[in-house]
Structure 1
Amino acid sequence: MHDPERFGAAGPAAPTAVAAGGTSTPRRLHHHDQQAYVWSRVHVNPSYSGVPGEAAQSLVPPPRSGAASVVVQDKLYVFGGYGGGTGRLDDFYAFDFRTCSWEEVQVLSEEKPGCRENNGVVVLSARDQSIILFGGYNGHRWLNDLWKFDIATQRWTCLEESTPDMVNEEDETNAAGMGMPQQVVNASTTSQRPSCRFGYVSVVYDNKLVLWGGFDGQRWLNDMYVYDFGSSLWSQVQQFGTLPSIRSCPASAAEGKYLYIQGGYDGLERKEDFFVCSLDTYTWTQMPNLGRTPSPRYFHSCVMHSNKLFMYGGYSGSQRLGDMFAYDFETNHWSEVDCSSGDSPGGRSSLIAQVHENNLYIFAGYNGQTVLNDMYKCRLRPIGIPSPSLLNDFRRLINDPETADVCFLVEGREVHAHKAILAARSQYFRAMLFNGHMRESSNNSLVEIRDVSHPVFCKVLEYLYTDTVCDATLEVGIHLMVASELFMLDRLKSICEDLIRGEISTENVISILVASHQHNALGLKEIALDFILQHLSDAKIQCGLTELKSEPDLLIEILKLSSLQPVTPFTRRLGNATQHQVPSPGTEQQPSQAQQVRLFNAHPAPQEQQPLWRVDWR
């Protein structure tokens, strides 16, 4: 039998850009749970036809490689492929994960797709559960027809017939066994419809079928086309970013708006690079290729699961591979998965790989000698743990009148909260809400908060409930820093300082300096002073400094610090203006009575501070 993977075929069906090819410390993904990453052979149960008197029988599909597959709800659908001595196939099967049994899909329409291999199928949407099939190779010609199978009605519909792009008269077994031209060029066509091809990547996004790359019998491609199911029209897409080079049969997987491809073959060499395409803008990014990277290959398969991309098998050009790798999107590293335990599928290419729940299933393929129809599964993780939701749950409690047990009045507006949360997070609110008569009266009373605006108080509650502050402007950040000092929330104060620091400019630095000085934000004050000293010659800074009459201590501090820098006309004028306020070392004198009166008038004694809250007994 000829080598079924000489020329390549389709694999089954929010990153930082760095140069690919680098490696770091090798990593191996070990499993702590004894049942995780353990392979086992799937023993298929007999299926029943439903006809009275007929015995159950095993309907495992015949051996095949290069078949198309897709998971819809709890079933794996498999179409066509290459059957070895039986040639290309047009049969259609479904594997039920719940009953662990195969059945041949009953097609009620007269028209249906012909025999083919190395094409892809995708599901249209969760609402419109239709299977979409495009192109492939039937042994004599490459195809670009488009079909739709309605699972509910069990009927195929031909959306577009194939065009006679490429016919091969010398076929013996499959696409890889023929003397096809070794021409490696980039596709260029004025047609808005994709050329005939196989070995492409396909995905449905935003009610559109997206096709990329492949092989058309003469050329390896990296073009992209989109079929709009609303208008029933094809269009060629202008791609942006770092495009993958021409190739066929890369492994591909999609999640949300992102399409990932890895490896492939361009007629000259096998690939090991890794790319992602953002389908909302058709922008490609080359992913970091770090860690224990997979060797170059094609005819392999990959799937997405739990923020990781799992890859299995393929063809290196000399052998069929039986290794498994995982790419962690949190660390941007590859790891080789230790899956030596159990009954593993062994080396194979042109296989089907799909995920259902927590298991990776592998079916069929080619091991270099035999076309296969066995099935294996690997448990990827012991339990599917959902993402943490505590912060979002607590955020929904903010100002929730249904569950609140205390109500504040801020600028005439009611704000609802929960005493237990406030008391656990703040000593200030613990004293307010559980001190004396308030403990018994606040359930039926409004607690008025003064000297804090309504938006700022809501941000204080956001911090108390979630330990974070989102989408705060510079103005709100400054007022929130003041409030954090009043409510004795040191971490919130630091968060505000960091927010304000990132917004410092020549227009606002004087105000930020005054606010940080008045509210003892020493880290922010130091940053503001450094910024002022670096921009002393700026006209806006000079204008702002002349208005610091209310804070002479800050003027003196700026003068002292500026004396360590080269003298400028402005610092000379600043020194002359404040010289009488700075005594020479060793000559400090007590102020006269008149000076004391002036100082007292300039700095009156602080009045007794009123509480920020009071109980309104209305």
Structure 2
Amino acid sequence: LLSHFAVGHRSPPARSGHRCVADNANLYVFGGYNPDYDESGGPENEDYPLFRELWRYNFATDTWHQMGTEGYMPRELASMSLVLHGNNLLVFGGTGIPFGESNGNDVHVCNVKYKRWALLSCRGKKPKRIYGQAMAIINGCLYVFGGTTGYVYSTDLHKLDLNTREWIQLKPNNMSCDMPEERYRHEIAHDGQRIYILGGGTSWTAYSLDKIHAYNLETNTWEEIATKPHEKVGFPAARRCHSCVQIKNDVFVCGGYNGEVIFGDVWKLNLQTFQWVKLPAAMPEPVYFHCAAVTPAGCMYVHGGVVNIHENKRTGSLFKMWLVVPSLLELAWKKLLEYFPHLATLSRSQLLHLGLTQGLVERLK
């Protein structure tokens, strides 16, 4: 079930094209776009219609904070890619305004503990300046697939070794019919051996989810995988600008757009059986160009997005949904916070003295 947060503090204004990631304690929301002058902060926002900002939502205290950071924060603030690697946010690509006129192809790193941005200096053949690409970290390497320059859509697959900091473009051994079509605003899942490309499209198309393209990292080839429909329900509709989170071998897709309809459904794909299941839960409102992230404990958070095509309306809503049965630790922690909301005001040493573990203290601080 999805629940909604009403927060007394200032929270991020409605936006789309932003990205988010989560750890055990916080949801981090970066960037975004809102052409509505008043909604995007009016004269206060120097970067209108973009948001050059990093927000943190703390799960334990149910509060938003706009994070003050040092160093150069990237200006490509729409449809960039964002992953969390330890305590570091890695941001790649994205576009400024007008879309496609000022794209990025650098990797920016923000350490969320030290709140400092830095440019990752890399060598090798880096991707073109693109936005709407998908990105994942697999075995210490950053993989980037697809995206658009704003004029041309891509099927390029690049890999950045995070140890040597060298980019290479992966050229598949088979440039055959198993190649995925060029696309943007797709999502990636992976199982260590293959990278799966889920949906996406162009400004005039959306790709189906019943056949999925996979890049085999061991054989360096593209494969096409036929998935299995949910009995009596079928396959999820083709879509772009959806969200996708992964827990072990289960991938959860929600929302998105096919050029006509905004979706509010939630689907699960198992990467071992390739079976689709439509979950009984639906999003509180259909949305696309939103962002989603899952905590290590298995709770998915969904933020923002476009909710009305004709009015071009965005939302700033935050919803959560447990994708697994919460552990006993998570259930006990939830109860503790309900009964003792003042815990967050105590010092680290007081909390440890009360018997809280280091890990739980970290969630409050």
Same fold, judged at TM 0.5 (above): yes
Name the residue aligned to 2:55: 93
Alignment pair present for 1:227 and 2:163: no
SS of the residue aligned with 1:153?
coil
1:142 corresponds to which of 90, 100, 103: 103
Distance of 1:382 and 1:207 partners within structure 2: 30
1:422-441 per-residue CA deviation (whole Å, 9 max, x = no partner) reads xxxxxxxxxxxxxxxxxxxx
SS of the residue aligned with 1:353?
strand
Distance of 1:101 and 1:258 partners within structure 2: 38
Alignment pair present for 1:60 and 2:23: no
Distance of 2:105 and 2:248 partners within structure 1: 34
SS of the residue aligned with 1:247?
coil
SS of the residue aligned with 1:89?
coil
CA contact (8 A) 2:189 2:198 kept: no
Name the residue aligned to 2:70: 108
Name the residue aligned to 1:164: none
| Per-residue deviation, 1:240 | 4.3
The code of the aligned residue for 1:380 comes to L
Distance of 1:306 and 1:123 partners within structure 2: 16
SS of the residue aligned with 2:281?
coil
Name the residue aligned to 1:118: 79
* Higher strand proportion: 2
Distance of 2:237 and 2:106 partners within structure 1: 34
Alignment pair present for 1:276 and 2:196: no
Alignment pair present for 1:334 and 2:292: no
Name the residue aligned to 2:115: 154
Matches within 5 A, 1:403-422: none
Distance of 1:377 and 1:72 partners within structure 2: 14
Alignment pair present for 1:309 and 2:251: yes
| Per-residue deviation, 1:258 | 4.0
Matches within 5 A, 1:530-549: none
Q: Which has the larger radius of gyration?
A: 1
1:120-151 per-residue CA deviation (whole Å, 9 max, x = no partner) reads 11123x3xx21111111101422212211122
Alignment pair present for 1:359 and 2:299: yes
| Per-residue deviation, 1:264 | 1.0
Alignment pair present for 1:75 and 2:18: no
Distance of 2:273 and 2:163 partners within structure 1: 39
Name the residue aligned to 1:285: 223
| Per-residue deviation, 1:217 | 1.9
SS of the residue aligned with 1:220?
coil
Distance of 1:235 and 1:335 partners within structure 2: 36
| Per-residue deviation, 1:296 | 1.1
| Per-residue deviation, 1:224 | 1.0
SS of the residue aligned with 1:84?
coil
SS of the residue aligned with 1:210?
strand
| Per-residue deviation, 1:225 | 1.2
The code of the aligned residue for 2:161 comes to D
1:212-233 per-residue CA deviation (whole Å, 9 max, x = no partner) reads 1110122110111122233332
Change (3 A) 1:230 1:196: same
The code of the aligned residue for 1:365 comes to G
| Per-residue deviation, 1:384 | 5.3
Matches within 5 A, 1:494-573: none
Comparing 318-327 with 284-293, greater Cα deviation is found at 284-293
By relative contact order (CA 8 Å, sep 6+), the higher-ranking structure is 2
Change (3 A) 1:95 1:282: farther
1:566-604 per-residue CA deviation (whole Å, 9 max, x = no partner) reads xxxxxxxxxxxxxxxxxxxxxxxxxxxxxxxxxxxxxxx
Distance of 2:3 and 2:132 partners within structure 1: 29
1:498-528 per-residue CA deviation (whole Å, 9 max, x = no partner) reads xxxxxxxxxxxxxxxxxxxxxxxxxxxxxxx
CA contact (8 A) 2:109 2:120 kept: yes
Matches within 5 A, 1:217-256: 217-240=150-173, 242-256=178-192
| Per-residue deviation, 1:332 | 2.2
The code of the aligned residue for 1:251 comes to E
| Per-residue deviation, 1:257 | 4.7
Change (3 A) 1:75 1:284: farther
Distance of 1:83 and 1:360 partners within structure 2: 24
CA contact (8 A) 1:82 1:117 kept: yes
CA contact (8 A) 1:255 1:304 kept: no
The code of the aligned residue for 1:42 comes to F
Name the residue aligned to 1:10: none
Distance of 2:197 and 2:108 partners within structure 1: 24
CA contact (8 A) 1:200 1:248 kept: yes
Change (3 A) 1:384 1:238: farther
Alignment pair present for 1:202 and 2:160: no
Unpaired segments ≥5 residues, structure 2: 37-47, 329-365
The code of the aligned residue for 1:101 comes to T
Matches within 5 A, 1:251-262: 251-262=187-198
Unpaired segments ≥5 residues, structure 1: 1-37, 47-57, 162-190, 386-618
Distance of 2:285 and 2:28 partners within structure 1: 23
Name the residue aligned to 1:300: 242
| Per-residue deviation, 1:326 | 1.4
CA contact (8 A) 1:74 1:98 kept: yes
Change (3 A) 1:229 1:328: closer
CA RMSD for the aligned pairs? 2.3
Distance of 1:282 and 1:157 partners within structure 2: 32
SS of the residue aligned with 1:295?
coil
Change (3 A) 1:307 1:233: closer
Comparing 317-326 with 300-309, greater Cα deviation is found at 300-309
The code of the aligned residue for 1:364 comes to G
Alignment pair present for 1:379 and 2:322: yes
| Per-residue deviation, 1:199 | 0.7
Change (3 A) 1:103 1:280: farther
